[in-house]
Structure formats: C-alpha cells, structure tokens
Structure 1
C-alpha cells in the first residue's frame, strides 16, 4: 500500500526525519527560585549571568501518506528552506532568553526547546499532507530531549563507561557458551567502550522545564557509572554474579538499576557504534545492527514529464544517476531468553542482514533491481521494499528498519506502537 505510508499490514508506521544544526545561548533559570534551588534543578548553567552556549542538533520528524507517483512522504526540498528560515529567525545565534518568546517567561531547557521547535515547525506545513510529529533535540553530546504531537516529552542522557567481560551464561555449559557466543565466550575476556542512552519520561510542566532535576539525574547516572566503569563485569560487579553477561542482559540491568531513582522509559546500550541493545518499561527488549549499503540510483517517475521530474527531484534526477553510502539499521524485538540472556543471535543477525542487502550492494537500484523498475527508489520506497525481505529473513521478528540516505536524511519504518512517532 505505497499510497498510504504503510505496508500491506496496517500496523506499520513510516517517518522521515531531517537534521539541522544551530547555535544559541541559554540560561535555564527561574527568577522565583534561589541560586541554590536553580543550581540543584538546572545544573551549573543556571547561575551563568549572561547565559552560555550550545551547538544544537535538531531532528524534525514527519509522518504521512507516500505519494504513489513520486514515492515521497514529504519533499525534503520543500521543508528544508522553511525550517532553515525558522531557525534563522528564532533560534540560530540568539540569546534565547532575550530574543525568542516565550523563553523570556519559561526556562529554555532542552525539553522546552524541543516542544516549541515542534510547535513552530508544525505551523509551517499546513499546505502539505505530511505532518511534523516529533522533534528530537541534542543539546550536548550528553543531553537531549524529544517532544511529540501527542504531548509526550522526554529527556535523554548519555553516559560512557569502559568495561571488560566474558560473554557467558552460567545456565549453559562451556560447550554451549562457545557454540552460542564464539570467541566472545573466551575465559580471557574482552572489553568494550560502552555508550548508554537513558530516556526518562514523566510529569512535565513548561514552568519547571525539566522532567527530573539535574541533582537527581547526575547522582543516579554517576552511581551507575561508578558501578560499571573499568570493571570486569563477570567478576567485580556483585549484582551481576549469577546472571548471563550479554549486551541484552546488561541493557536490562542498567534499566533496573536506574528505575529505583529515575522515571526511566527505556535505555539503549551501544556496545559498538553500529550495534546496541534496548530495554523498555514494558519489559520488551530490542537488538539492532547497522550495516552499509553502497548503491547508485536516480529519482525519476515515468508518469511525470522531464520538467516535472526535475522540479520535484532536483539534482537527484540527474540522468546519469548518483549514489549513496546508505546505512541500514535492522532492529529485532521481543522478550529475553532467561537461560541464555539473549534476544537474537548476533552472528545470525549480521549474516541475515548482510544476505538481505547483498543483491542490492554495488548496484544501480533503478536499472538492476526489479523492485524499482517502475517505482522511484526513494528512501521511503527502499524501506517498504526491504522490510518484507528482511522480516522473512529474521523470522518475522523485525520491529524497526532505519535507512540513512545521508547524515541529514533518515527514513524509519516500524511496527506501530501506541504513541509511536
């Protein structure tokens, strides 16, 4: 059902996100609070007299039907100049407290900024069918926030830690561990530089501007880091003794440790830049792997005139084509196997994703791949064509498929969840 923004199943949700950068200064502060209260709640920037600076990255997410002819959910060439103008007028190179209402009245926290970026963006696109449904804002490498059109607001924190481990389940024999985990089960162990993203959600008011105080979040995150950083996870973390040591089980462990003091919605543990495990409040786990896809294509629709094609696709309509180093991320979901501590065998995931992409690798999608012989090879259509191929290979356990065409353009197809965006 390419005209609906969904696949054959009505339980799919397709989005397109566009990435932008801007620089601004802010001072998160409440005039009716003391310096001590502001410092505890907002952190050290709250006492900065003239504000301090951040280099922000904003991701605007759109959802809507895919046009049958063009293959696009939204024309990025239309939204880009409008959002650039919005950022230039209200946010970029501004002291937000002084230059950008309503931040003269409410603190310019990442949460409040994400809410108003989404609100401002939503007002710009009444003339197109797609709608802005979310804004994800990275304020620093360690802090971000997300706002959604269903009124949800989230705060994200990142922490890093380095640790040694042996990928191993005490519920399996040594032979079973070796068969399942390969060299990672060696008694000598190995190590990783982990990155953990913690997403919190809960009561939020614009007047307070944050879901949780800086003092509370910092204490909880630093306690977890101290527990895990530069440790042998199998031997030096008492709370992990007797448990499988896998990426999936570690993600669940971090969630369980943090929920005692933070309103955690989900955690995402990166073991490598292209591989992570996620654990959510509903006890569901995910495992994701990203692989490259190098392919050429030309955006062109035979139902349109040459002039219309050039007007819609611009330089992407170049007759000789062009190419991308696509990044494809496949996520499987479900419940952990308590005996092994795994959700899906990583080697199997890598092999099945690689095999699914192999027919498209180093090919011209429009000239050599049947899926695009009469369908424009847009990011939207690539996701829609790849989903059934990959879902079959992954035993119908594919939960989310992401494609980066460039660092700025991302396409996401997922099994729809309540409130998904």
Structure 2
C-alpha cells in the first residue's frame, strides 16, 4: 500500500511538472513570437528609413546596414557588411581615445562619391555601450543633403534674380520716360514733315514755272539740286517712320521687362493673356532669334482671365526658352536649318487654350513620364536646375486649376498644350 501511494504521488508530481513545463513552453513560445515580431518590425523600420543607417562592432567593422545605406553608397548590402567605417566615410577618423570619450556627434561629410561629384551628408554618430559600460560599436545615421543644398543654391539664385529684377524694373522705369519723349517727338516730326513737304513743293513749283526767274529764285533752284532735295523729301519720312518703329520696339521691350521684373502679388486679377504671351516672346527674343523664327497666332476675342500673371508669365517664359534650346540642339547636331516656334491662343468653351510648338530635338519616349518631376533635367550639369517644367506644371495646374499635356517625337519636335479656365467672362 505504501508503494502504491508513493507511486501515485510521483505520478501526480510528474503531472504537475508536465503542466509546468507545458506552461513554460507556451510562455517561451509566446516570447519567441513577440521577439520575432519585434525583430520583423525592427527590420521594416530600418528598411523604410529614408536616412542611411549602419552599425559597427567594437572594431568599427560594419555589421548592419539598411537599404538606404546601400543606395547612398551605391553598393549591395552584402558588400557593405564587413567594410570599415572609414572606408565608406573617408573623413571619419575615430581613435580608441575618441571612442571612450564619444557621445553623440554631428558633422557634415562631403567626400563620398567620385572626385567629379561629391555627396553632402549630415552624419550622426552614437556609441553603443554594454551594461558593463564597455564599448560595443557605433550607430551611424546619415542624411543625404543633396536636395537641401540644391534648394539652398536655388534660393540664393532666386534672391539674386529678385535683386536683378528690381534693378531691371527700375531701369525700365527710367528708360520709359525718355523713350516716350522720342516716340512723341518723332511722331510730331513725322506729321509736320508732311506740311513742310507741301510748302517746299509749292515753292519749287513757283520757281520752276516762272520763265524769267530772279537771282533769288535761281539760287533756290540751285540749292535744291545741291542738297538733293527730292531725295531728302522721300527719305526723311522713311527715316522718321523707322525711328518711330524703333522707339515703339524699345517701348514694347520696356513694358515686357516691367511685367516680368515685377515681383508679383500672388493675387489673381483680370488679365489679357495675349499680352502676357507677347511679352514672353519679346523678353526671350535673344534666346530664339539666332536659331528660330517665332510666330504668334492669337485670338483677338479672348476675354480677360482671372490669373496670377507673374507665375503664368514665368511658365510661358520657361516653355519658350526650352523650345529655343531644343531647336538649338537640333541645329548643332546638323539636322535642318533655322527652326520654328509657333504659339497660339484660342477660346474654347470656358477655357483658353495656349499651344506652343517647336520643331526641335524632341523628348525621348522613356523620359515622358519624368519631365514634370522636380529636379529632373536632360541638360548637362550646371546648365539646368530641373525646375523649369515643374514650375510650369505648378503654375498651370496647381495655381490656375488648368491642364497641361504634350506630344513629342525624337528629332521631330514637341507641342505643349495648356488650358486655363475662364472663371469670369466679363
């Protein structure tokens, strides 16, 4: 009986142990599941970080790197692992003494990449310490400052252009008054020349009709021959007309300069779109006149449209300059002669359609989806910011609620078609 009771107790004890083991096994399994989930979440966080992250061991050998680090250093994940920290960040030099004193430090590192093109970085270094306060490695987080630097450069350039614009506006104002004198006085001279012609012709007729001219009349006749009076009578009105046309052209350029150098108020006001198109064509003359002929076909019945003339004018300016550059590249490649830029405006239903067509080099099909992206450019480094067409898109679509589309063939040319809603038909 004692043996049987003892056996029963042992069985109960074994059962309790099994229950404890089972419970503990379940707890361990749950803990493993939690750890696995945490590890997966950790990996997801690392893989979705925009910043590049690398982790080193105590010897500064890289033991961990996320996808952004591979993209930044243009190396596969496997190639980064095992490299030394100073191999990827050449300006980072950390001695053992530095490690012991290291807290979190920040610095700008600009030496990664090729000699021709470096990448500016914001680098943050933090030490990893064990519970025993021994050094175990470094966590390094890096942010690519290329876009930031580009925006800084563009802001600086924009500030320079703003200053130049203010100077141009002042210069245009100063030129406007004297050129107005030239126009008015030339117009007056042109009108009065006709009266002088009548008087001179009447005087000559009297001199030539008299059979016996007096010495004074004979002297007048000889003087008329000497100064080639008939030639002057024909050429002076032509010269006056050319002067007036030149003054009108200068006045038109001045008006265009004032329009495009004005800082703008960002307020939408009733505006003559044809005037903006004409001003854009005038201001960009020096860009296209050597490579192309520009023609305007503008609807004279366009209503005034509520718009931000500064942003819309800048958009047209960018498109005309792009068209002239495309034609210039086509000409430089030895294809064709002088190109053409055609600009038209037309009222359709309740929108104004503006079309700009060139027969330049065109846009390759594989770039069609990218041309409106900020910072995208097909120009050589230093010759384009990649902001021209993105600004056009912002002006037409975002600011004015319009549309913009294009068709292009490589080697044939490009057509941009824009629509601006007419919200006020008055």
Assess same fold via TM > 0.5. no
Structure exhibiting the larger radius of gyration computed from Cα positions: 2
Whose strand proportion is higher, 1 or 2? 1
Q: Structure with the greater relative contact order (CA < 8 A, sep ≥ 6): 1 or 2? A: 1
Whose helix proportion is higher, 1 or 2? 2
- TM-score, length-scaled by structure 2: 0.20
- TM-score, length-scaled by structure 1: 0.20
